[in-house]
Structure 1
Amino acid sequence: MESPEPAAVERLDPRAEDLVESLRAFGYDLATALADLVDNSITAGARNVRIAYNSDPGKAWIAVVDDGRGMSEQELREAMRFARNPRQERTEGDLGRFGLGLKTASLSQARKLSVLSRNGEGRLVARTWDVDHVAEHGQWLVLTEADEGALKIVDLLGFSGQGTVVLWRNLDRLGEGETLQRRITEAGRELSLLFHRFMEDGRITLHMGRRQLTPLDPYLRRHPATQDRGFEELEYEGYRVRVNPVVLPHPSRLSSQEARKASGPGGMLARQGFYVYRGDRLVVAGSWLGLGGMHNSAHTRLARVAVEIPPGADLAWEVDVRKSTVRPPVALEKRIIELAESVRARSEKVFTHRGTPVARPRDLREVQPVWQQVRRLGQSEYAINREHPLIAEMLDKPGGEAVEGVLRLIEATLPVQLIAQEAAVGFSGGSSHDRTPEVEEVLSTFRTMLTGLPRDPLKRRALAEALAGAEPFCRHPGLIRDVIESDSREEM
């Protein structure tokens, strides 16, 4: 049998100067880039990881220093090589995946990456990827000796024992001075969340500059009002995944410090949803993952679902290069959505069952009041109505947790006795037809809200009339009616 003729081929190597720039565009931010380096430190057995930096204009740099096992020259050479097989079996404590993190994470923030390492033998070895050097020569040439600038920084860091230093210079995407300091502070808070399990049980100590980071528990498990719904194990392709739905306490039951911890970077509204862990490292910190049409809302912002996947399940869960997005296997979606919907419903109940509203006269039930009288533990109290259109809109927007904090302050300081005294002596407001500055402010607010209504005449009119029944607009029916009629004529 004749052998088939070889196919006609030609070799097309990628241009090094173009590809290296493309590898800088994987979408890392500073926090996810630093997290990739901390992953490597943990895999290397480090107990202490320090992120040091200099923000001086023209001299800025960032270094990640650990006390792990360090590397031999051959190990460092392989570590600086781009890519490895993502299907390769991972050990339990290995937080890497594609063999790209060290390089792509670093070069996404800096044009010059130097790694200096020392293992138990005590010899310092170094390699440097310099984007400008690669572009100049058009080849994948890595520098094999530490330059004088790198050695000075290593000396400044006091790095003399076993471990590794990852050094970023030419920070073309991070800025300098106050800009860099602000970004590092923000990244530090994110790292406190991403590695909270490692810090909570003492596996690592993480420093940002001179400050030791403290773990941010996104579930407030020590709070007595936190609802932990327990664990459920799901199995797929031989891997076991643990799912743990949790409902946070109502914001009114949180101290300011607890509220900050629960909010984390991005705020409570943005941080609801799934919290996906890969080997105890948080890779998704609040997202509904596009499942089941679920989206963020003010009343579901207390719902959080911890999902724990082993590193070996990366391909099944579509973990990306940055280890910041995932997608569950189709076979598990149905049950995961059911668990999520259940915890979302419980979050809504926390808001809707805080107190029992006192029945109101039949002819006033169409009005949406700002204040509601509720009966709680046998006592009458007054609470701000979160279903009021204006208030609900503010709570649904980014920063809604800050608005919630202000509402709680107002409720806690409501001068009920003073109001009762004023009522007893016959306090009287002005006529609903008086065009006082206060009334003009109400009318102006109503007009502003009309601008956000749909253009369809019938829908717009119906929504405007519904809004007119809410306080404080319902106190000025004649004037509000004039605004609605004027708006209807303008839209015709």
Structure 2
Amino acid sequence: MSSKYDNIKMREAAPFAASMMESLRDLGYSTETAVADIIDNAIFARATKVSIDFLWNGVQSRIVISDDGLGMTEEQLVRAMRPGSQSPASERKNNDLGRFGLGLKTASLSQCRMLTVLSRKKTQKLSYWCWDLDYITAPDTEGWTILQKAEKDDLLKAGKMISGTVVIWDNLDRVIELDKEGYSEDDFYLVAEKVKRHIEMVFHRYLETGKLQIIFNGVAVRAWDPFLRGEIATQPLPDELLENGEIRIKSYILPHRSKLGEDIWSENEERGGWDSLQGFYVYRNERLLLAADWLGLIRKKPHYKLARIMIDLPNHFDHEWQIDIKKSRASPPLTLRHYLKAITMATVTQAEQVFRHRGKQVQRSLSGDFSFVWKEMVKDGRFFFRINQDHPFIASFVLKSADKKKDIQKLLRLIEQTVPGSSIIAKEHEYPDNMMRPFEMIPDTEITSLMKELSEGWKKQGLAGDLIKKKLLMTEPFSDYPQLIETLSYE
């Protein structure tokens, strides 16, 4: 059979193993993205449990990742150890979190110089092979050679598996900075903690549903949900479907700080800060690929901090969304950017309202009877604020002090005319998370006393207990303290 290449001179130009393997180490993996890549393989192998152990022993320190998945036969393991073991264009199963057939090798060798994999398929013998870069790069070594070697203790432990895979990283030259003066065990475990936090987020949907259990240095990893769906004040917006329903988008408006416990707020701060956590969260098969990024559609701004949007993709959109080998980058196709921009603007507009109004628009939507202390006024196109004299507590106080009503109104007018509006705006813009909540520095007993005084007045008016509780929940600033409202007696 003739070919257009029949009369062309040819010569093999295979890459040198040593230089190619060293080059593959520099694809940009961090320790946390590398570990996550190994967990992806475990998920594809139908593992229900993954154990990760950071084991400190100076230069002999190692990282061991094991799973209880299907495991591999001898031939399957050899194929898995081969760089480029599958084409990114190949059709894949829905639960396949890989794409290039490089993850096991590139992720592992980005962190260590020796990768050992031990695996057993049910009812079959244990198989084990090793990539040792010191051997590959030795002067007298040629070719892409893997070694059948493993530590005796590793063979004994892996031999007890019914099925599963163990990935071992030794000679951690990219994790342990031995040339850094004073590098210690504490530094090693700081890297481990960073990895654990990454896993809590990247695989949170697997952990939440119980599809996967991850044990990190002997302790079960808990899920961290960036959307705070367990918080009652979180506002989910309606689903948006693109590409014939294959891409699902779900926006969430997170609660204002005044609606969250200090522990929840602090945890978000520790994970990079509320400002940095806003944006899109792109998932493929429930695995987080890209976190807290507006995909080039808008810039991050402090008043958008409560906006987070989930995008769910099936894995056959990898090429269109430019999913990279590390599974840490995604970019939407031009055909979808218009729709995503519209969704973005609708979400951040609502998030800004929650941020600026301390979450009060939630109550406004529940009832038109919400009682604010301050009223926003407009006259001749100019804005100003007045104290709401119909506020239940203020109205009650004025009524009880009828003989001093004029003096009270003079005092209220003085307060209204001297509100430091420009200073408040400047401070909230510069330090948005440092503004105190109403009564934050006041003992709970004082707030409770005010609530009791107001509720007693309503009781005298003949209001039932349930209605009094509802009115307190709809009255500023008591609405910020539902836990104290629950402690009152309404009999």
TM-score normalised according to structure 1 size: 0.73
The separation in 2 between residues aligned to 1:91 and 1:343, in whole angstroms, is 33
Query: How far off is 1:200 after superposition?
Result: 0.8
Partner in structure 2 of residue 246 of structure 1: 252
Q: In the alignment, is residue 118 of structure 1 matched against residue 139 of structure 2? A: no
Q: Which residue of the other structure, out of 85, 88, 92, is the alignment partner of 2:87?
A: 85
User: Of the candidates 166, 178, 181, which is equivalent to residue 186 of structure 2?
Assistant: 178
- Among residues 130, 141, 145, which one is paired with 2:144 in the alignment? 141
SS in structure 2 of the partner of residue 408 of structure 1: coil
Partner of 1:401: none
1:392 matched to 2:393: no
> Where do 1:27-426 residues align within 5 Å?
27-83=28-84, 84-136=86-138, 137-147=140-150, 150-153=151-154, 155=156, 159-175=160-176, 177-235=185-243, 240-260=246-266, 262=268, 265-291=271-297, 294-354=298-358, 388-395=425-432, 404=433, 406-408=434-436, 412-413=440-441
Residues 383-433 of structure 1 deviation map (CA, whole Å, 9 limit, x = unaligned): 9989643552344xxxxxxxx2x5336961169x99xxxxxxxxxxxxxxx
Q: CA deviation at 1:378?
A: 5.8
How far apart are the structure 2 equivalents of 1:88 and 1:33? 23
Over 3 Å counting, the alpha-carbon distance change for 1:86 and 1:411 in structure 2 is: farther
CA contact (8 A) 1:242 1:307 kept: yes
- Report the Cα offset of residue 161 of structure 1: 2.9
Q: Secondary structure at the match of 1:64?
A: strand
Cα distance in 2 for residues equivalent to 1:182 and 1:125: 33
- The residue type paired with residue 392 of structure 1 is H
SS at match of 1:28: coil
Distance 2:391 2:31 in 1: 49
Secondary structure of 1:407's aligned partner: coil
* Alignment RMSD (CA, Å): 3.3
Q: Deviations over 1:466-489 (max 9, x none)?
A: xxxxxxxxxxxxxxxxxxxxxxxx
Q: Which runs of 5+ in 2 are unaligned?
A: 177-183, 361-371, 395-414, 447-491
Equivalent residue letter for 1:94? D
Contact 1:264 1:271 in 2 (8 A): no
Contact 2:73–2:124 (Cα < 8 Å) also in 1: no
Q: Match of 1:320, as an amino acid?
A: D
Shift of 1:123: 0.9
Q: SS in structure 2 opposite 1:308?
A: strand
Q: Give the Å deviation of 1:270.
A: 1.2
Contact 1:36-1:105 within 8 A present in 2 as well: yes
Structure 2 counterpart of 1:478: none
Q: Secondary structure of the residue that 1:270 maps to in structure 2? A: helix
Over 3 Å counting, the alpha-carbon distance change for 1:387 and 1:78 in structure 2 is: farther
Q: Secondary structure at the match of 2:186?
A: helix
Deviation string for 1:199-226 (max 9, x for gaps)? 1111110011011101111111122211
Q: State the aligned residue count.
A: 396
Amino acid at match of 2:429: A
Q: Is the CA contact (8 Å cut-off) linking 1:61 and 1:171 kept in structure 2?
A: yes
Residue pair 1:219, 1:262 contacting (<8 A) in 2 also: no
Unpaired stretches in structure 1, ≥5 consecutive residues: 396-403, 419-492
Q: For the Cα contact (< 8 Å) 1:373–1:383, is it kept in 2?
A: no
Name the amino acid aligned to 2:440: A
**Percent same amino acid among aligned pairs?**
33
Corresponding position of 1:433: none
Aligned residues of 1:384 and 1:407 also touching (Cα < 8 A): no
Deviation at 1:160, TM superposition (A): 3.2
What letter corresponds to residue 18 of structure 2 in structure 1?
E
One-letter code of the match for 1:226? T
Larger mean CA deviation between 335-344 and 379-388 belongs to: 379-388
Q: Counterparts of 1:349 and 1:10 in 2: how far apart (Å)?
A: 66
For 2:319 and 2:430, how far apart are their aligned partners in 1?
Answer: 40
Contact kept in structure 1, 2:52 and 2:215, CA below 8 Å: yes
Q: Letter of the 1:258 partner, please give it.
A: I
CA distance in 1, matches of 2:420, 2:326: 45
